[in-house]
Amino acid sequence: MKGFKRTAVFQKDYARLPQKIKDAFWKQIERMLTDPHHPSLDLKKMQGYPHIWRAKVTGGYRFTFQIDDEYYLLRRIGAHDILKTP
């Protein structure tokens, strides 16, 4: 199983989230690890950023990440507008 690494920006983003969104994020991470094609993830490659992916936490929240052979690098998490600077 792949592990996770977090950027400093991700850690700051995450710290500002309400607990409800944090809980939803970890639920989506579990889904991503077991079924990356689950429709609730809405997993997509970011246009203009060839190595960055994005996934849905809830209707208004997203997270971005990169995939390495050994881990996922969590880049950003927050309201939909974080996709402007993934």
Tens of pLDDT, residue by residue over 5-46, are 999 999 999 999 999 999 999 999 999 989 989 999 999 999
Full strand arrangement of the beta sheet holding 61-67: 3-6, 71-79, 61-67, 53-56, 44-45
Identify the three-state secondary structure at position 18.
coil
For the domain that residue 12 is a member of, what is the CATH number?
Answer: 3.30.2310.20
**What's the domain range around 7?**
3-79
> How many C-alpha atoms does 40 have within 13 Å on its Cβ side?
12
How long is the chain? 86
Question: Does residue 61 sit within a domain?
Answer: yes
Number of domains in the chain: 1
- pLDDT class for 1, splitting at 50, 70, 90? low
What integer pLDDT is reported at residue 63 of this predicted model? 98
Confidence (pTM): 0.92
What integer pLDDT is reported at residue 69 of this predicted model? 86
Between CA 5 and CA 19 the distance in angstroms is 20
Question: Does residue 86 sit within a domain?
Answer: no
Tens of pLDDT, residue by residue over 37-73, are 999 999 999 999 999 999 999 999 999 999 998 899 9
Question: Does residue 75 sit within a domain?
Answer: yes
